[in-house]
C-alpha cells in the first residue's frame, strides 16, 4: 500500500520526526519521501511533516507504528491516507491511545498530499 502521513510540528520538531522515520525504515518500508509544509486549521497554521512511502507491512502494523509515533512525537493524532493496489483510497485520523479529548473525522480539506 501507498501511505501519506501528515504529522504536525507544533509539539515536536522536524529532526525528531526524521529520526523516528529512520528507526522504522527497513522494518516497515525501505524508501520514503518527506517534506515540510504548512497546514491550516481553524485559521491557525502549523508546520507539518508530509511523509510518503510504500509498504508491504500489514495495515494493522502500520496503525501500531502511527500510535507509537503519536506518543513519541507528542501528537494527539496523525492524519493518514492509504492507497491499495487498485488505487482505492482510505483515510483516517489515528489518535494516540491516551488521548481523551474530542475526536474528529478525517477531512481532506486540511490534508496535504
What CATH number does domain 2-110 carry, 3.40.1580, 1.10.10, 1.10.3470, 3.30.70? 3.30.70
Residue 16 pLDDT: 97
pTM (two decimals):
0.94
Q: Which residues contact 6 (CB under 8 A, 6 or more apart)?
A: 39, 48, 49, 50, 78, 79, 80, 111, 112
The whole-chain average pLDDT of the chain stands at 96
Query: Domain-by-domain residue ranges, the chain?
Result: 2-110
Residue 41 pLDDT: 81
> How many percent of the chain have pLDDT more than 90?
96
Quick check: 50 and 112 in contact, CB under 8 A? yes
Residue 43 pLDDT: 87
Amino acid at each position: 500500500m501507498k501511505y501519506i502521513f501528515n504529522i504536525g510540528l507544533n509539539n515536536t520538531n522536524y529532526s525528531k520526526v526524521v529520526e523516528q522515520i529512520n528507526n522504522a525504515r527497513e522494518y516497515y518500508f525501505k524508501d520514503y519521501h518527506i517534506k515540510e509544509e504548512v497546514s491550516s486549521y481553524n485559521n491557525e497554521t502549523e508546520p507539518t511533516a508530509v511523509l510518503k512511502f510504500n509498504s508491504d507491512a500489514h495495515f494493522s502494523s502500520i496503525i501500531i507504528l502511527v500510535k507509537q509515533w503519536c506518543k513519541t512525537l507528542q501528537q494527539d493524532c496523525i492524519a493518514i491516507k492509504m492507497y491499495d493496489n487498485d488505487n482505492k483510497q482510505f483515510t483516517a485520523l489515528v489518535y494516540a491511545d491516551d488521548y481523551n479529548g474530542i475526536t474528529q473525522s478525517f477531512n481532506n480539506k486540511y490534508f496535504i498530499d
